[in-house]
Amino acid sequence: MSTIYQLDEVTIGQIAAGEIIERPVSVVKELVENAVDAGAARVTVTVEGGGSQLIEVTDDGHGIAPGDLQFAPRRHATSKLAAASDLESIGTLGFRGEGLASIASVARVEIVSRTKDAANGTRIVAHADAIGVVEPAAAPQGTRVRAEGLFENVPVRREYLRSPSAEFTRISSWLSSFALAYPAVTFTLRHDGKDVWVMPATSDPRERLAMVFGRDAANALIPIDPAGARTLDGTLRGFISAPGSDRADRRMQMLFVNGRLLRSTLLAGAWTAGYSTYAMIGRHPYGVLMLELPPDHVDPNVHPTKSDVRLRYGSQVFDAVRRAIAATLQAHASERFREHVAPAGAGVSLAPPSVDASLPHVESLFSRFAHGEPVHGRADEVPRRRMRVLSQIDCTYILASDGESLLLVDQHAAHERIAYETIVARAGEHAPSEPLLVPLTIELDATQSAALDRALELLHEGGLEIEPFGERSYRVSSTPAGYGARAFDLAGFLDDLTEDPKQRDVRERIWASLACHSVTVAGERLEPEEMTTLVDRLQLCANPMHCPHGRPTMVRLGPVEIARMFKRV
Ligand code: ADP
Ligand code: MG
């Protein structure tokens, strides 16, 4: 038999604080968010000993009125919410009235504050369940909160802390990321008596980007075209990395919803989806997304530290963000293509960014090439300034020239891009397929067959007919029209499918994979006409610069680069 005890206030406070104050950076977050909510223009964060000795946040915001100060450190005391109905439309970062109380239950807290109208400042201390009395104190306008001896009364928590420098690094990276969304506020971070960094208020968002991502990485960022998110009931702003400059993880993806820095699986997913055909599998774009939605579309009250939010119209938001990102990258790719491959005046017209679904049905990519039919758009869109194919190099690259620059095309990557765009264009209308003379029976292991089961329907859309044929056996009865003859690489395709399917949108993955394993490979000898058609068609692609896995399809040596090689400039 066990006895049920009523916990005392101190223990209750520590349990509640446990959810909010996990480590020093959590204290910084609560205090800095309070400062921003108070309309501060300057916020200074002073840290000692990685935050376990001291965290002090000073701001020049509106301050706390003397009569209110005694309530500030109390649990569930807030000025940001008056009634439960206010929860529906939260316009501030805080609202739970738990920040100061939680900090006070695990550290010695002193709050000094003065409002604009008050002649003097006031001060209060709070620790564990003891809240002191409000007394006068000299203070400039604004608020200063000091938290000393963090977790001294919770030794287990102390043990989980890393070294002071590691804890300080978390503080610095959280604060600098947070600052991205508040360029009008000057943030200063001090550690052990030294100014570590200062971010002066600025009207140029790129300055902050450079401080967070580094100068070079920030220069490579492209602004999101807000027009891409027209369908959104709100706005999307931000900067995203261009294809080719990605990272191995998502840590440099800064996501804000209504000014809250958070880990939003939804936003991160939409970013990945919008980026999917530009990135190599397993690589991640970096940058910052700032989503502003009507307050009643966002429920931040799903997580004690508000590190994720629930969106009322999540799938619409997902779609709008994905589209905006894809459109931004699309425009960027076309621009780069114009700069690099078809300089102004060359008269190349690009295919419209949206894929034309009214394409003639495809017999064979190659036979179409031979007939000179465009993969995209209309026949009159063939580039006017033609790239002349000079030679195939190493059975892998195509060397071409327009009389001014040299172009090296990776035949596999280029063909893959063309095939991919064709498949995407046809999807939904069930691509024609070609029956195999002798249906192929394949046997798969458990992982492969699970992956295949998930993909069957999409494969069918793409023109590949595979049906279960006994346990873990499948029969391939037809392949996408025109591909069969080129020995569709089923084994390679299945390997691709089983490789971490969460990395990108399944549909696009399958199509990219289908494209990849149905086209010219490196080391294959091509006829001159085949190469010419490949180069022509590539230029009509919506995104001609990269294959669906994000590898470049071509490099160009322009007159300037050539002159440089011969030391003429
Ligand atoms: P919340 O932010 O959820 O309201 P807190 O415990 O963090 O809860 O703060 C309680 C209250 O104290 C706030 O609602 C606000 O009125 C006041 N307060 C806290 N920090 C500041 C500050 N830096 N400037 C002005 N008022 C503050
Ligand atoms: Mg707060």
Position 170 scores a pLDDT of 92
CB neighbour burial string for 129-159, b if at least 16 within 10 angstroms, e if fewer: bebeebeebebebbbbbbbbebbebbeebee
Position 358 scores a pLDDT of 30
Position 69 scores a pLDDT of 96
- Does 380 score more than 50 pLDDT? no
Which ligand has the nearest atom to the CA of 144? 1
| Ligand 1 touching residue 548 (CB < 6 A) | no
Which atom of ligand 1 is nearest to 145's Cα? 23
Q: How far is CA 551 from CA 184, 242, 287, 447, 546, in A?
A: 39, 13, 20, 27, 5
- Does 550 score more than 80 pLDDT? no
| Ligand 1 touching residue 494 (CB < 6 A) | no
| Ligand 1 touching residue 30 (CB < 6 A) | yes
Quote the ligand 1 centre to 78 CA distance (angstroms): 6
Which atom of ligand 1 is nearest to 81's Cα? 4
Which atom of ligand 1 is nearest to 96's Cα? 3
In the structure encoding, which two tokens stand for residue 31, read together? 């205090």
Q: What is the pLDDT confidence band of residue 434, given thresholds at 50, 70 and 90?
A: low
| Ligand 1 touching residue 274 (CB < 6 A) | no
- Does 485 score more than 50 pLDDT? no
Residue of 26, 27, 31, 34 to test ligand 1 pocket, by largest number of atoms within 8 Å of CB: 34
- Does 488 score more than 60 pLDDT? no
| Ligand 1 touching residue 102 (CB < 6 A) | no
Quote the ligand 2 centre to 71 CA distance (angstroms): 13
Quote the ligand 1 centre to 512 CA distance (angstroms): 51
| Ligand 1 touching residue 34 (CB < 6 A) | yes
Rounded (10°) CA dihedral 297, 35, 223, 330:
-30
Which ligand has the nearest atom to the CA of 109? 1
| Ligand 1 touching residue 27 (CB < 6 A) | no
Position 539 scores a pLDDT of 81
Closest CA to 151 of 162, 140, 135, 137: 162
Residues in the chain: 569
Whole-number Å distance between alpha carbons of 467 and 181: 51
Q: DSSP code of 548?
A: T
Alpha helical stretches, state H, 381-467:
411-426, 446-462
Q: Over the stretch 511-532, which tens digit does the pLDDT of each residue have?
A: 666 666 666 666 778 888 888 8
- What average pLDDT does range 461-485 have in this prediction? 69
Of the segments 52-56, 160-164, 258-262, 267-271, which one has the largest average pLDDT value? Answer: 52-56
Query: Which residues lie closer than 8 Å to 348 by C-beta, 6 or more apart?
Result: 338, 341, 342, 383, 384, 385, 539
Of the segments 5-19, 177-191, 419-433, which one has the largest average pLDDT value? Answer: 177-191
| Ligand 1 touching residue 272 (CB < 6 A) | no
The fraction of the chain above a pLDDT of 70, given in percent, is 78
Q: How far apart are the first and last CA of the chain?
A: 90
Quote the ligand 2 centre to 375 CA distance (angstroms): 57
Residue of 62, 87, 100, 110 to test ligand 1 pocket, by largest number of atoms within 8 Å of CB: 100
Residue of 33, 37, 69 to test ligand 1 pocket, by largest number of atoms within 8 Å of CB: 37
| Ligand 1 touching residue 267 (CB < 6 A) | no
Quote the ligand 1 centre to 147 CA distance (angstroms): 15
- What average pLDDT does range 235-252 have in this prediction? 83
Position 373 scores a pLDDT of 35
Residue of 33, 78, 146 to test ligand 1 pocket, by largest number of atoms within 8 Å of CB: 78
- Does 354 score more than 50 pLDDT? no
Q: Over the stretch 393-433, which tens digit does the pLDDT of each residue have?
A: 998 999 998 888 899 999 888 888 887 777 666 655 555 66
| Ligand 1 touching residue 96 (CB < 6 A) | yes
Q: Is 44 left (phi over 0), alpha (psi -120 to 50) or beta?
A: beta
Position 428 scores a pLDDT of 53
- What average pLDDT does range 298-327 have in this prediction? 84
Position 205 scores a pLDDT of 82
Position 528 scores a pLDDT of 84
Position 88 scores a pLDDT of 77
- What average pLDDT does range 315-319 have in this prediction? 88
Query: Which residues lie closer than 8 Å to 184 by C-beta, 6 or more apart?
Result: 41, 201, 203
Return the SS3 of 299. strand
Do 500 and 281 touch, CB atoms closer than 8 A?
Answer: yes
Which ligand has the nearest atom to the CA of 58? 1
Q: What is the pLDDT confidence band of residue 349, given thresholds at 50, 70 and 90?
A: very low
| Ligand 1 touching residue 79 (CB < 6 A) | yes
Position 503 scores a pLDDT of 43
Residue nearest atom 8 in ligand 1 by C-alpha distance? 97
Write the burial class of residue 347 (CB in 10 Å: 0-12 exposed, 13-18 middle, 19+ buried).
exposed
The fraction of the chain above a pLDDT of 90, given in percent, is 33
